[in-house]
Structure formats: structure tokens, C-alpha cells
Amino acid sequence: MFVPTAKQADDEPLPLYLDLHGGGHALMSAEFDDEICARMANRFNIIVVSIEYSQAPSNRFPVLTNDVVAIAQATIDNPDLNIDKKRVVLGGFSAVGNLALSAAQAPGLRERLNGVIAWYPVMDFTLTPDEKKASRPYRNAKVLDDLPDFGPVFEWGHIPFGQNLRDPLLSTRFVSKNDIPKWIYIIGAEYDMLAKEARDTAFDLAGLNEKEREDGMYGFEKDSCKWTLVRDVRHAFTHDLMDGKGPDAEAMRKLRTEEILDQVGNWLFKGPFSKY
């Protein structure tokens, strides 16, 4: 749990951001997000709780979804947390951006969440790796990410044999806006094979027409749905994971992370964290 350093015990209740760490449903732990969770808590003056959930391949879909639903509800109900229960947002990085949107469909949790943030998420398990790779707008053939190599392994570990891949609890690309919280923010990375499916999901949730989709390729905000494609960065740019990075790439990664955190903060407090 992360509490802003300036908070006093008798302060008014603060908004709650529930964090889900990335790792392909199979790797890392809640501590993996310590740095960004601490930054968000202090930057936005909110309480952040990073949820530890069961992982694949020992636990396959929908076990992880059920875990997040149960733990999120228990966290919201924790009497020791000085939180404003009317201002709660769930967010997840990478594969668990999808998991956040999956858990948010559960009626018992959906009604308690004001919003969801999906950071460079996987959305559509009906697409093949080749179809996803073909959608990458890379500057040259050498600008690659690691997902084409590891993505199929993560899918094998997470998805049980015979599972309907269009189930919106699994492929949140097919979720209905009526089945998730009101405020939705989807964030993509420009040089990421998952960017197109994330963008298409945002387009559909916002109900954009063809002209609006053309204009909103890099970003749009319509009603309570927002999309941002972060330029010049790869998957997982918010975390220090790049191999063989040069100083220019690292400087860009840090710059874009700062910029998107500003956008996230503005969106949170004019939307799901706004005073009721």
C-alpha cells in the first residue's frame, strides 16, 4: 500500500487507485510496480494499493479475474484504509490491463468502481501473433519488441484448452460499454504490437464514426472514454525494462512517462476522482 507522504491521520478520505502489475499473467509480483505506485500516490495525493493475484500456468482463466474481483472488494471494504469509497479506480499494465477490464465486468465490483485505466493492454486473443506483428508501425525492421517471442507462451499459460476466445471476460476487445464502469482510459505505446487492438477497443467503446477514428488515431476523448497513443516508445515504457537501450531512448522513455502521468492525473480528477 502507498500513502502520500504528506497525508496526516486525520485528513479527509482520499481516492483509491487499485494497481495490477504486468507480467503476462505469469511473471513479476506486486513489488514490481513499487516505483510507479509510489509516484502516483505522492503526485496525485491518493492511496494506491497494488494487488497480488494468482498467476499462470498454475492458475488459468478465469481464476485471475476472480482473484482480482475478490481482493479489490476486500480492499475497498478494509476499515483501516482511510479511502473515499465513491472514488475508486482499477488499473493494470500490459496483459493485466486486460485483467482490469475483465474484473471490472463483475457486477459486485463494477458498481463500486468509477473507472478503469488499461496501460498498453492486450485486448484480443482471437488475433494470431502474425496478425498483431503486421499491425506495428515500425520505423525499420530492427525496431522490435519482445512480445512476438513471449506472447504465445503467455497465452498458452493463461487460456485453458477449448476456451471461447471471444468471451469478453477474456478478450475485452468485445466488452460492451454497459458492462464496465463509466470512465475508461486506454493507453497505448506507438511501437507495440498491441497498440492497434487497444485503439480499436477504445474506438468501439466511445462509439466513434469513421471520421472520428481517423482523427483519433493518436488520441481522443469523448464523453467518459479517453485514448492516448504515446509516441516514440515501446511496450512497457513506464518501467525500466529495455535491453541495450541508449541514452536517447532512456531519456525519451522517462519523458513520455512523465507526460502520460500528467495526462492520467488530469483525467482522474476531472473524471472518476472528481468531487461528487
Q: What would the pLDDT profile of 209-247 be if each residue is shown by its tens digit?
A: 999 999 999 999 999 999 999 999 989 999 987 665 678
Tell whether 6 is covered by a domain.
no
84 lies in which domain range?
A: 14-270
- Give the distance, in angstroms, between the CA of residue 170 and the centroid of all CA atoms in the same chain: 14
Tell whether 3 is covered by a domain.
no
Q: What is the pTM of this model?
A: 0.95
Residue 61 is predicted with a pLDDT of: 98
Give the integer Cα–Cα distance in Å for 268 and 87.
10
Number of structural domains (the chain) is: 1
Paired strand residues for 221: 226
Paired strand residues for 48: 2, 17
Tell whether 136 is covered by a domain.
yes
- Can you list the pairs that 257-261 forms with residues at least 24 positions away whose Cβ atoms lie under 8 Å? 259/230, 260/187, 260/228, 260/230, 261/39, 261/40, 261/43
Tell whether 9 is covered by a domain.
no
Res 17 pLDDT > 90: yes
> Of all residues in the chain, what percent carry a pLDDT higher than 90?
80
* Phi–psi pair at 191, nearest 5 degrees: -100, 65
Tell me the per-residue pLDDT of 259-275, one tens digit each, with 9 for 90 and over.
999 999 999 999 999 98
Tell whether 8 is covered by a domain.
no
Tell whether 196 is covered by a domain.
yes
Q: CATH number for the domain including 64?
A: 3.40.50.1820
pLDDT, mean of residues 152-176: 96
Tell whether 73 is covered by a domain.
yes
Res 142 pLDDT > 60: no
Q: Of 31-35, 149-153, 194-198, 240-244, which gets the smallest average pLDDT?
A: 240-244
Tell whether 276 is covered by a domain.
no
